[in-house]
């Protein structure tokens, strides 16, 4: 039997386990992997994860006596009332987990600023939308102004960055990132506003919760969001970009210039550029690569597009999109649970799936009510050069191409 194990110190694989292995020996293995002593362990399994009732005689009972099957995931956490090992105490508190999220968001400041600055556009349109977390505000306040990118970038990205630079230089506060999906959908805000708006989790009747997990704004949020839900890593973008390039190279007939909107070889080079943003094509390829459905929830439209649907995949993951940025969605073992025990993959045909999907839809609906999205089709801008008003990214792009003007600011028609 092979099992996956998640604990405070990470995720592990336990391979070649015999059914005759004693529960005591099994718990000792878990202790060695997770750092949680056998006497202090609470072991969860199933979906959603629920505590296992361990036999009183752990030496006489065997692994075969537990309701576990090959390929299952077990979650090990510190049992309530027990004392944690020093290293574990630091890792296992939900406060530390959420501080880690803030640190992840702030870490984008050390990388490319393009995506964060693109969020300036959303911020100028945000009105009364919720403020970005403090760490993110600090990151963005220190971000340098973005210069107009070189001409070899495609028009959408060039325009988005030009607009972002214009708004950033006029004290607009950054918000989400740029579209990586056909329709918009996550949070925007003005620095200094009071934190308001939609929750980041919705509880289920059994005590678990569908939660939003923040992905850094570093031009690769789509890829890192997929990496998190598929492989529990937020740094898989370079690998997943290569996967996409290799997939496209292997099937030039399917991935033709007409399909990719650029020659196959050019696309392969383009998608491996860490400054480029992905979209529907990339999500469909990654769904096929992992053999799982990817449900992308759009906050603006409240729609869910499922990539890989109809391919008889038996597992699904969830993403959240705000028109400018992708975050991940997961099932937390309980409200405030740390990320390391998230469950990100579920069977859409299981009895628990409808409740999970309802909670995800509720999370999206509440974000929509709080207007935590950016409508890149209908916002209005004024050209900073000729003062002409334009509506939406399409008109702005056309104006920029026709005139060479790339300085825009928010514009309210009267």
Q: Determine phi and psi for 163, rounding to 5 degrees.
A: -60, -45
CATH of the domain at 161: 3.90.70.80
Same domain as 271, residue 174: yes
Residue 266 token pair = 């050019």
Q: Select from 91, 121, 140 the last residue of a domain.
A: 91
Among 221, 298, 305, 399, the one annotated catalytic:
221
Quick one: which of 125, 132, 86, 76 has its CA closest to 108?
132
Position 271 confidence tier, pLDDT thresholds 50, 70, 90: very high
Q: What angle do CA 268, 274, 278 make, to 5 degrees?
A: 65
Residue 391 token pair = 């509506």
Q: Select from 61, 91, 121 the last residue of a domain.
A: 91
Same domain as 76, residue 54: yes
| Cis peptide, bond prior to residue 362, ω within 30 of zero | no
Same domain as 97, residue 69: no
Which position has the higher pLDDT, 181 or 273? 273
Position 150 confidence tier, pLDDT thresholds 50, 70, 90: very low
Same domain as 127, residue 258: yes
Task: For residues 133 and 136, give the distance between their C-alpha atoms in angstroms, rounded to a whole number.
Answer: 5
Q: Tell whether the model's pLDDT for residue 130 goes beyond 50.
A: no
Same domain as 400, residue 303: no
Q: Is 325 a catalytic residue?
A: yes
Which of 2-6, 75-79, 258-262, 264-268 has maximum average pLDDT? 264-268
Percent residues over pLDDT 90 in the chain: 41
Same domain as 101, residue 30: no
Question: In the predicted model, what is the mean pLDDT of residues 350-357?
Answer: 95
Same domain as 148, residue 80: no
Task: For residues 335 and 346, give the distance between their C-alpha atoms in angstroms, rounded to a whole number.
Answer: 18
Q: Would you give the distance in Å from CA 383 to the centre of its chain? A: 33
Which position has the higher pLDDT, 109 or 318? 318
Which position has the higher pLDDT, 235 or 4? 235
Q: Would you give the distance in Å from CA 381 to the centre of its chain? A: 29
Domain around 45: 3-91
Task: For residues 68 and 83, give the distance between their C-alpha atoms in angstroms, rounded to a whole number.
Answer: 27
Q: What 8-state DSSP symbol labels residue 22?
A: B
Same domain as 136, residue 62: no
If one counts every other C-beta atom within 10 angstroms of the C-beta of residue 291, the result is 13
Mean pLDDT across the chain:
75
Same domain as 337, residue 243: yes
Q: Is 221 a catalytic residue?
A: yes
Q: Is 383 a catalytic residue?
A: no
Pick the range with the lowest mean pLDDT from 58-62, 254-258, 403-407: 403-407
pTM of this structure: 0.57
Residue 179 token pair = 């579209």
Q: Is the CB of residue 205 less than 8 Å from the CB of residue 171?
A: no
Question: What was the pLDDT predicted at 290?
Answer: 95
Task: For residues 10 and 299, give the distance between their C-alpha atoms in angstroms, rounded to a whole number.
Answer: 31
The continuous run of DSSP H or E covering 212 comes out as strand 209-213
Contacts for 251 with CB less than 8 Å, ≥ 6 apart: none
Q: Tell whether the model's pLDDT for residue 132 goes beyond 50.
A: no
Among 5, 190, 218, 322, the one annotated catalytic:
218
Pick the range with the lowest mean pLDDT from 169-178, 237-246, 298-307: 169-178
Question: What was the pLDDT predicted at 82?
Answer: 64
Task: For residues 231 and 225, give the distance between their C-alpha atoms in angstroms, rounded to a whole number.
Answer: 10
Same domain as 15, residue 115: no
HSE value, Cβ hemisphere, 13 Å, CA-based, for 90: 3
Domain count, the chain: 3
Same domain as 141, residue 61: no
Q: Tell whether the model's pLDDT for residue 194 goes beyond 50.
A: no
Position 401 confidence tier, pLDDT thresholds 50, 70, 90: confident
Question: What was the pLDDT predicted at 324?
Answer: 80
Among 65, 112, 304, 405, the one annotated catalytic:
405
Angle formed by the axes of helices 114-125 and 155-169, to 10°? 70
Question: In the predicted model, what is the mean pLDDT of residues 293-304?
Answer: 95
CATH of the domain at 87: 3.10.20.90
Pick the range with the lowest mean pLDDT from 102-111, 315-324, 332-341: 102-111
Residue 147 token pair = 């210069």
Same domain as 257, residue 140: yes
Q: Tell whether the model's pLDDT for residue 95 goes beyond 50.
A: no
Q: Select from 36, 67, 91 the last residue of a domain.
A: 91
Question: Tens digit of pLDDT for each residue in 317-335?
Answer: 999 998 889 999 999 999 8
Question: Tens digit of pLDDT for each residue in 33-52?
Answer: 888 899 999 998 875 567 88
Q: Is 386 a catalytic residue?
A: no
Among 92, 181, 325, 368, the one annotated catalytic:
325
């Amino acid at each position: 039997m092979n099992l996956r194990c998640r604990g405070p110190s990470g995720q592990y694989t336990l391979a070649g386990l015999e059914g005759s292995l004693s529960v005591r020996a099994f718990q000792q293995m878990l202790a060695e992997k997770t750092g949680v002593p056998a006497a202090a362990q609470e072991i969860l399994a199933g979906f959603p994860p629920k505590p296992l009732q361990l036999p009183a005689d752990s030496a006489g009972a065997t692994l075969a006596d537990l309701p576990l099957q090959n390929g299952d995931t077990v979650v090990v956490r510190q049992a309530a009332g027990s004392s944690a090992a020093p290293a574990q105490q630091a890792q296992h508190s939900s406060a530390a987990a959420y501080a880690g999220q803030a640190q992840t968001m702030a870490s984008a400041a050390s990388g490319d600023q393009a995506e964060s600055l693109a969020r300036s556009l959303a911020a100028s349109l945000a009105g009364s939308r919720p403020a970005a977390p403090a760490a993110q505000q600090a990151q963005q306040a220190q971000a340098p102004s973005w210069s107009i990118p070189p001409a070899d970038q495609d028009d959408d990205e060039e325009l988005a960055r030009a607009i972002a630079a214009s708004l950033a230089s006029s004290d607009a506060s950054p918000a989400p990132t740029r579209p990586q999906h056909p329709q918009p959908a996550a949070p925007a805000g003005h620095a200094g506003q009071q934190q308001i708006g939609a929750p980041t989790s919705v509880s289920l009747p059994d005590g678990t919760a569908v939660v939003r997990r923040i992905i850094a704004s570093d031009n690769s949020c789509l890829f890192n969001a997929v990496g998190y839900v598929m492989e529990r890593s937020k740094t898989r973008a370079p690998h997943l970009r290569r996967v996409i390039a290799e997939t496209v190279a292997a099937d030039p007939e399917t991935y033709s210039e007409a399909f990719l909107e650029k020659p196959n070889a050019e696309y392969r080079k383009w998608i491996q550029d860490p400054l480029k943003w992905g979209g529907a094509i990339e999500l469909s390829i990654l769904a096929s690569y992992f053999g799982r459905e990817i449900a992308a929830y759009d906050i603006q439209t409240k729609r869910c597009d499922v990539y890989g649907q109809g391919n008889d995949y038996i597992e699904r993951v969830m993403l959240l999109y705000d028109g400018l940025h992708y975050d991940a969605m997961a099932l937390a073992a309980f409200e405030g649970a740390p990320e390391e025990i998230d469950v990100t993959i579920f069977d859409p045909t299981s009895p628990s799936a409808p409740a999970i999907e309802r909670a995800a839809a509720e999370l999206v609906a509440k974000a929509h009510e709080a207007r935590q999205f950016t409508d890149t089709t209908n916002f209005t801008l004024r050209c900073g050069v000729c003062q002409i008003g334009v509506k939406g990214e399409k008109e702005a792009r056309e104006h920029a191409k026709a005139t060479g003007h790339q300085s825009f600011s928010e514009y309210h028609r009267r």
